[in-house]
Amino acid sequence: MPPADCGACAALALIEGTGPLSGEDWGSHMKYTSAALAKLSETGGPRCCKRDAFTAMTEAVSYIKERCGVALEIPSIK
């Protein structure tokens, strides 16, 4: 998985206090990872680390809102 996904997944684990030994709750982060990877797969052109990081973090914001009920702002990305 791209580094941006790894970092966002690790951040979510810290926020929720979960890890690989947490049981079923840990799998929720894999749902985020699969959503982020799906979004990245829709992007054409050569790989761009900055674009991939913004894409993964945008998916993380959606995940956090759905899972934790916290709405984070997403700045305009150019």
Q: Where are the alpha helices (DSSP H) in 17-78?
A: 28-41, 49-68
Is position 30 within any domain? yes
Is position 19 within any domain? no
Is position 74 within any domain? no
Q: Per-residue pLDDT tens for 7-38? A: 667 777 777 787 778 776 677 777 888 888 89
Is position 76 within any domain? no
Q: How confident is the model at residue 71 (pLDDT cuts 50, 70, 90)?
A: very high
Is position 77 within any domain? no
Distance CA 13, CA 19 (A): 6
Residues 6+ apart with CB under 8 A from 31: 63
Is position 59 within any domain? yes
Note whether 57 and 40 are within 8 A (CB). Answer: no
For the cut 70, the answer to whether the pLDDT of residue 4 exceeds it is: no
Work out how many domains the chain is built from and give that number. Answer: 1
Note whether 68 and 52 are within 8 A (CB). Answer: no
Q: Name the pTM for this structure.
A: 0.70
Is position 55 within any domain? yes
Range of the domain at 42: 3-14+26-68
